Amino acid sequence: MCGKVKLGLLVGGNSAEREVSRASAENISSCLDSNKYEVIRCEVPEDFNAGWIKQLAQLKPDIVLSALHGGSGEDGSVQGLLKCMGIPFVGSGVEASAVCMDKSLCKTIMKSACIPVIDGILIKKGSNISAYEETMCRIGFPLIVKPNRGGSSLGITVAEDMEQLKAAVKLVFDEFTDDALVEKYIFGKEVTCAVLQGEKGPEVISVLDINRKRGIFDYEAKYVDKDWSGGISNLPGYMQDTIIGIAKKTFSLLGCEGYACVDMILMDEQVYVIEVNTLPGMTAKSLIPNAVKALGMDLGSFLDRLIEYKLR
């Protein structure tokens, strides 16, 4: 392509991760080579009104890079819109985005392909929790409760007993207007595997150890705490090979494109996939930018690679 690439950078959106999106967009903008790209920031409003779609249609970007996280930005809706508009975009398409956003559905698909996932149940919004008490007791406390379509660890509670569990499920229903995913809480080592789409299939950028300071890798650790909360994994080679194999298999199975992070927990050398992020955080504190840095690359070249791959 001659001249600069006109790149639409989507930011904001209608999810609770709006502010994270702003921080991701800021970091992405600061890394993109201004000799190569004309970056046009495209603000996706909280109420999702159609003005931004008109702006995008007028803009006719050569490619879209999305800094949106969660909500319509990550669940396949925006991907479907871009597809209908004929605008190429970096990252996963409609189906993979929709599946990965729905943690419970994603687990069902992974389980069917023998990818190990953690035992749990989905409680549909508004249903009577009492009907699930027996199953939850069978799985055994502590249990973790998450908004099924959430992100950034928002709305997650570790419940030690039935009373805490009921409050946690209620929080998901009322504050996050979502179904509640209840899982066995695993006291294991947490890792994330950053996967990139390569010419010959998925490639792993690196396996990252997560430092869980407070029981879960929470919002503060992800975005507020000063240090990075992660590092290039120091697990033995054979464990990393297992993790890499599972991450690649997961990426391919779900039809992910561009890049994704596969979150996992290890217990007794068993690896469980907890979720797949198709639009992982790109803030200066996030895992992918730091993994890229730790490997001696810069985020700008990493993004170049993704953009060039798509434009080819």
Task: List residues binding Mg ion (CB under 5 A).
Answer: 263
Please tell me whether residue 139 binds ligand ADP under the rule CB under 6 A: no
Could you tell me the smallest distance in angstroms from the CB atom of residue 213 to ligand ADP? 10
**The two structure tokens encoding residue 132:** 């699930």
DSSP letter for each residue of 51-114: HHHHHHHHH--SEEEE---SHHHHSSHHHHHHHHHT--BSS--HHHHHHHHSHHHHHHHHHHTT
For residues 262 and 288, what is the distance between their CA atoms, to the nearest angstrom? 11
CB nearer to ligand ADP: pick between 56 and 152: 152
Interacting residues of 287 by C-beta distance below 8 A, sequence separation 6+: 192, 194, 208, 230, 261, 280, 281
Per partner kind, with CB cut-offs from 5 to 8 A, the member of Mg ion, ligand ADP, none near residue 186 is ligand ADP
Could you tell me the smallest distance in angstroms from the CB atom of residue 263 to ligand ADP? 5
Per partner kind, with CB cut-offs from 5 to 8 A, the member of ligand ADP, Mg ion, none near residue 156 is ligand ADP
Residue selected from 44, 262, 274, 306 as contacting ligand ADP according to rule CB under 6 A? 274
CB nearer to ligand ADP: pick between 96 and 118: 118
CB nearer to ligand ADP: pick between 5 and 23: 23
Sign, CA dihedral 122-70-222-266, equals positive
Residue 37, H or E segment: strand 37-44
Per partner kind, with CB cut-offs from 5 to 8 A, the member of Mg ion, ligand ADP, none near residue 125 is none
Could you tell me the smallest distance in angstroms from the CB atom of residue 236 to Mg ion? 24
Please tell me whether residue 217 binds ligand ADP under the rule CB under 6 A: yes
Residue selected from 212, 249, 293, 305 as contacting ligand ADP according to rule CB under 6 A? 212
**The two structure tokens encoding residue 238:** 């054979």
CB nearer to Mg ion: pick between 55 and 153: 153
Closest CA to 119 of 134, 149, 140: 140
Ramachandran angles phi, psi of 240, nearest 5°: -65, -35
Ramachandran angles phi, psi of 79, nearest 5°: -65, -40
Q: Torsion over CA of 120, 236, 242 and 186, rounded to 10 degrees?
A: 0
CB nearer to Mg ion: pick between 69 and 248: 69
Please tell me whether residue 36 binds ligand ADP under the rule CB under 6 A: no
Per partner kind, with CB cut-offs from 5 to 8 A, the member of ligand ADP, Mg ion, none near residue 189 is none
CB nearer to Mg ion: pick between 76 and 280: 280
Ramachandran angles phi, psi of 72, nearest 5°: -65, -20
Q: Which residues pair with 29 in a beta bridge?
A: none
Interaction with ligand ADP in 142-201: which residues (CB under 6 A)?
A: 144, 146, 150-153, 156, 183-186, 190
Could you tell me the smallest distance in angstroms from the CB atom of residue 151 to Mg ion? 7
> Can you give the binding site for ligand ADP, defined by CB under 6 A?
118, 144, 146, 150-153, 156, 183-186, 190, 212, 216-217, 263, 265, 274-275
